[in-house]
Structure 1
């Protein structure tokens, strides 16, 4: 191995995603050991494999410090505790605090000049006091562009501006900034902001000139959300319920909204360029809570399981859906919303629609509890939407294969001129394509 050219050895090292493998290569080869300081990134994760080799987190930290101390230029650092170790490490949590200020001070200052990307994933919320890690980052890392922090109680006291930062992800964090005003103020050029499972938010006010992508996921309800972002293109909002949503985002084109109930959008909403919309809400909210939006071309609808679907059967009709989103060219109905649609079809008189033009693509997530009823609903959809040419139907993985094959054969025989795509789906898993 040591006889290989230095450039080739360096190329091999640079292709190793895990720095633990780099450490092993250093032991196995003098050539690797000589060249590894020329690497510019480190990715070290405390995994179950490391634990099985009886490496404590203290030794893991020493390995990390040893690796990083011999690298003169470090542009990317990713360090974390694997999700698979939560149960295994519950008895030794005192040693698992990767965002400990004393530990961070041992390595952050020496790499900060060149550091452009930083990701630290802690074990969990290990301490009641709030970490000053963000303050340290704002003190030292003046060229940092991408930051990800996970599992931390985060203090935002006395932050310095971070004008070079363009992407910030805070995952499973506690924030002492209920309106997010302090956080937004210190990142004036931020373009991507992901706040995932953020706790202790009050009424967030996101007023940001340069923000283009924003994701907000909270486990509880929000009373109000104020979002004034003139350059925002993509918005993903997930929570239980919102009393009022104030959005001024004239460039918004992709919107994913998942919640149980939506009371109202404020009157000064702006959706002039909204093209793709994913709505997971009560059918009542979709029909009556979301504003009339004539720009939406690609619509996906679903209903949370927590909703009382029987109370909504009389509400979900295609006519009402097309009334709110009249310019749809693509419609996808997820499983819970499709259940409501089937129940509406079964219990009510068939609604009379004018022949709907404009819809080209239709897809649905099916359970096939009653294949004949599902077939009738698909038939109704295709008879009303006369310009549909592409149909993608996904059948739940637990449906008997003979039932699936019979349903697929019946559809393709009934509508041979359509372009069909078939697939499987299961909760919490990615869809798979059959054709």
Structure 2
């Protein structure tokens, strides 16, 4: 190692994800010890094993407090551009009811703790990630947002998880372009302070943020938004004239209002139905929609003429009673220009229960269909598939994924009868066990 060029050694050290590994390298070599001070990031995560040892009467006295280790590591660096500190995932799963913990050594959004290290490194700090220990942070209110806004004039990216955050004293921070708040109790019930003090956000992730009543996102520069609400607010509003990608998960809102004229990719999942109030999405091409009440949602949706790629699902569906239109017809009414359609298992089951397509109408423009099948009744499944084939004259590709628990002879029957019924199509076959939609928002379609 001592024979390698110093820039290469520094590059190797900089690529170590765990700053604890860097500290161990410093002890092993004078060269490494000298060069390590040039590293510009600290990444320290508390493991479950370390936490357990710090609580055990047999090992507690030999364990250096986690905050003390962090202080030492960050004080050894000349320039700090990135800080990531938190608890490991297994420790993050520890429930408050499972442990009585009055300690604060893993209360990492503690203002006093942050103020002890931040002023010395804030001049070059561009990225901060804090993953708190919920057992210690959930009952301790933190003003750490105002501390970062006051000290970090070059901060571009901020991520905080598992904490109770206040917006008292929060001041505008125009350098911040990416904000992630995950499993947060937030004292900003309508998101007014977030929108006001972080006006230049381009990426916003609010995952499981509680305490919201009538939240409104109003951000001029926002391009990507992932918003998962943990409660049922009265109304939800998004005003983002430059928004391109939106992933929204909500629970029975009375009103959903969206103004995002350049929205191109939209992942929407919610329970129940709501009153949609949207301006026309003339650029929306990719849409995923999931609802426990899919049929009523489709009836209430406005017309989406620009959607080309559509994925729908219904996690809990019931056999429709007294209906005259199938899910397929409702989809094509709301999305008349779609050319690629995916029906996940719930949506397909609902269509299979009522596969009526009115008259002999030919559906033009639909080029590709992808289905996720459970095949509880092979005859009903085949009948529904044939109904689609008879009404889609422009169809060129049919992809079918059959649940892996379906017996092989049933799968063979479906494949042979489908290919015989319509040999002109390009058929694609596969198996599925569970829906893999988590990467949908980041992958090209």
Q: Scaled by the length of structure 1, what TM-score is found?
A: 0.90
CA distance in structure 1 between the aligned counterparts of 2:260 and 2:370, rounded to whole angstroms: 29
Instruction: Give structure 2 stretches of 5+ with no counterpart.
Output: 440-445
Correspondence list, 1:67-106, <5 A: 67-85=73-91, 86-87=93-94, 90-92=99-101, 94=103, 95-106=105-116
Q: Which moved more, 1:331-340 or 1:403-412?
A: 403-412
Q: Which residue of 2 aligns with 1:21?
A: 21
Residue 142 of structure 1, aligned match among 153, 168, 191: 153
Tell me whether 1:162 sits opposite 2:169 in the alignment: no
After superposition, give the CA deviation of every residue in 1:61-118 in whole Å (9 maximum; x if it has no partner).
2222221111111111111111212339835462321111221122222121111111
Correspondence list, 1:14-413, <5 A: 14-48=14-48, 50-51=50-51, 59-85=65-91, 86-87=93-94, 90-92=99-101, 94=103, 95-124=105-134, 126-266=137-277, 269-281=279-291, 282-305=293-316, 308-310=318-320, 316-345=326-355, 351-413=358-420
| Paired residues of 1:211 and 1:232 also in contact (CA < 8 A) | yes
Structure 1 position 283, deviation (Å): 2.0
After superposition, give the CA deviation of every residue in 1:175-216 in whole Å (9 maximum; x if it has no partner).
111111111100111111111111111111222211112222
Q: Which residue of 1 aligns with 2:7?
A: 7
| Paired residues of 2:319 and 2:353 also in contact (CA < 8 A) | no
Structure 1 position 313, deviation (Å): 6.7
Aligned residues: 427
Distance 1:23 1:264, change over 3 A: same
Structure 1 position 353, deviation (Å): 4.3
CA distance in structure 1 between the aligned counterparts of 2:128 and 2:346, rounded to whole angstroms: 39
| Paired residues of 2:370 and 2:398 also in contact (CA < 8 A) | yes
Structure 1 position 315, deviation (Å): 5.0
CA distance in structure 1 between the aligned counterparts of 2:285 and 2:193, rounded to whole angstroms: 32
After superposition, give the CA deviation of every residue in 1:335-375 in whole Å (9 maximum; x if it has no partner).
11111111113xxx664341111111211222122233223
| Paired residues of 2:325 and 2:357 also in contact (CA < 8 A) | no
| Paired residues of 2:44 and 2:84 also in contact (CA < 8 A) | yes
Distance 1:353 1:200, change over 3 A: farther
Structure 1 position 425, deviation (Å): 2.9
| Paired residues of 1:284 and 1:315 also in contact (CA < 8 A) | no
Structure 1 position 223, deviation (Å): 1.7
| Paired residues of 2:318 and 2:350 also in contact (CA < 8 A) | no
| Paired residues of 2:326 and 2:357 also in contact (CA < 8 A) | no
Distance 1:428 1:326, change over 3 A: closer
Q: Scaled by the length of structure 2, what TM-score is found?
A: 0.88
RMSD over equivalenced CA pairs, Å: 2.6
Q: Which residue of 1 aligns with 2:442?
A: none
CA distance in structure 2 between the aligned counterparts of 1:304 and 1:383, rounded to whole angstroms: 27
CA distance in structure 2 between the aligned counterparts of 1:277 and 1:262, rounded to whole angstroms: 17
Structure 1 position 384, deviation (Å): 1.4
Distance 1:132 1:317, change over 3 A: closer
Q: Which moved more, 1:312-321 or 1:271-280?
A: 312-321
| Paired residues of 1:319 and 1:353 also in contact (CA < 8 A) | no
After superposition, give the CA deviation of every residue in 1:268-300 in whole Å (9 maximum; x if it has no partner).
623222111111122233321211111111111
| Paired residues of 1:171 and 1:197 also in contact (CA < 8 A) | yes
Structure 1 position 134, deviation (Å): 0.5
